[in-house]
Structure 1
Amino acid sequence: MFREAKQNRIFQDVVHQIQEAILQGKLKAGSKLPPERELKEMFKTSRGTLREALRVLEQKGLITIKTGVNGGGIVNALTTQQVSESLDLLIRYQRISLRDLAEFREGVEGIVASLAVERAKNEDIKHLKRLLADAKTHLEEGASGWDEFIGVDNQLHMALAHIAGNPIYESVLQTIYDNIHRYFDQFLPREEEILRENYQDLCEIVKAVEKGQAAQAHLLVQNHVYRFNRLMEENQEQKKN
């Protein structure tokens, strides 16, 4: 399965070979890597270089290193979590601008909304309406219900992603909504009028899903994301000045 590592870049080649064996299915989820002694012999490398390569693979989420008598490298099941964790770091440290985030959300969430229309079942519609009822309750609380309202708003967006049935969209959007409050807290004015506009948008989106209007749902979500991002960008500019 493995060959002697290229001597001019031993470390990178060890990582590459093991990674490719996992991605190509030669090493299955749950299986153990060969013992350290055997890997050293296969790659013709030192213990230090091998262990560093294994640590990199663990950081990538491809393996888990266990210690003890029955320890060693265990191959992880590949999921979208690895991508989500990288995106999580970018958002948390604000390496993604409001404009970057808006462009992504306008495109992806529009598609997600149209897919949700095509795939929604009666129980899904009922769930969306329950979320609308929760949003209305918090809207009527005024400014004191701001955080709870935004939380329900996020839940409704994620409900659409779940209904759409694509785990990649759902996983990436979950990461965004787990962290988007960092932008809202800084740049979205806490005004009751914003909540009312937001609630009206959500009502129209759910209505389009219920009526099977995929193109309308797509457009409504895009406009919703665009408008609220513009509010945050304007507030961001005011703070700079």
Structure 2
Amino acid sequence: MAAEWRPVRQARTHELVLETIEEQVLAGQLKAGDRLPPERELAPALGVSRSALREALRVLETIGVLVAHSGRGADAGARIVRNPDDALGRLLRLHFGLGSYRLEDVLEARVVLERSSFEAAARQAASEDLDEAADLLVRLREPGIGPAEFNELDTAFHVAIARSSGNRLVSTLTAAVRESVRPLILRALEAAEDWPATAAALNAEHTELLRLVRAGEATAAADLAEHHIRGFHGTLVKDEPAERDGDADSER
């Protein structure tokens, strides 16, 4: 069904444009892969200025539902996409930085999500679905790996397990929550007194986690996932400045 465009009210124009596009998506008239009309056509169809339209499109691009390419050619213009992982991670990281959530809240969210994903992966993931996690584990064990690369691969390992559970929303939320504390975890890795020993200990748990998932030991995998998260992430909670909680509470 072709999308149907109509003029919007002029009050808070870019938000009204967002509402109109959202209505088209929810009605099934716009789907992933669909292109929006060119600005010169869409702006008058909506009865708004091109600057207001561009502001709305920038918001949609930020939240991961639209990608825009300038210029001419087949790729030019705005296209509806499904890209929630990076957008959710960015937004959650900003809100965490602003004190909207305590580090302890993020820890508990990780525990809930990853217990669920490791248990589900152990129960239903096919062997080939776990190949990505296995490949990442090989890279995590490479001699001389530094904290920054380890941090990236560590996140990818946990997300790969979540993805293999078959629940895309859980994998997206897992990625977003882990991404929100990535800078903090990196600083903690970099501050480790004995980095090679820290990396080896974390990888020993990664190895056992993957073994338990492959063996179908769902409860043991979930329990170890919680232990793994609380073990390192938990140290960040203990070190969280007390004033951070006070600042967050004062904003509520």
Using structure 2 for the length normalisation, give the TM-score.
0.68
Which structure has the larger Rg over C-alpha atoms?
Answer: 1
For 1:118 and 1:187, how far apart are their aligned partners in 2? 33
1:26 to 1:187, Cα distance in 2 relative to 1, 3 A: same
Alignment correspondent of 1:198: 202
Q: Deviation digits for residues 134-182 of structure 1, max 9, x if unmatched?
A: 65664xxxxx656365555444323312322333333443455567541
226-235 or 49-58, which moves further after superposition?
49-58
Alignment correspondent of 2:236: 232
CA RMSD of aligned residues (A): 3.9
Alignment correspondent of 2:171: 170
Q: Does 1:218 align with 2:222?
A: yes
Secondary structure of 1:31's aligned partner: coil
- Offset of residue 117 of structure 1: 0.6
Secondary structure of 1:100's aligned partner: helix
1:34 to 1:21, Cα distance in 2 relative to 1, 3 A: farther
Q: How many residues matched?
A: 231
For 1:149 and 1:51, how far apart are their aligned partners in 2? 38
Check conservation: 2:67, 2:79, Cα contact below 8 A: yes
Alignment correspondent of 1:159: 160
* Matched residue type, 1:223: H
Bigger proportion of residues as helix? 1
Check conservation: 2:116, 2:222, Cα contact below 8 A: yes
Q: How does 1:49-60 map to 2 (within 5 A)?
A: 49-60=52-63
Secondary structure of 2:78's aligned partner: strand
Check conservation: 1:35, 1:72, Cα contact below 8 A: no
106, 120, 126: which is aligned to 1:121?
A: 126
Structure 2: runs of 5 or more not aligned: 245-252
- Offset of residue 183 of structure 1: 1.2
Check conservation: 1:187, 1:233, Cα contact below 8 A: no
- Identical-residue share of aligned pairs (%): 24
Alignment correspondent of 1:87: 89
* Matched residue type, 1:113: F
Secondary structure of 2:97's aligned partner: coil
Structure 1: runs of 5 or more not aligned: 139-143
64, 87, 103: which is aligned to 2:68?
A: 64
For 1:66 and 1:194, how far apart are their aligned partners in 2? 46
Alignment correspondent of 2:213: 209
121-130 or 203-212, which moves further after superposition?
121-130
* Matched residue type, 2:157: L
13, 18, 22: which is aligned to 1:19?
A: 22
* Matched residue type, 1:165: G
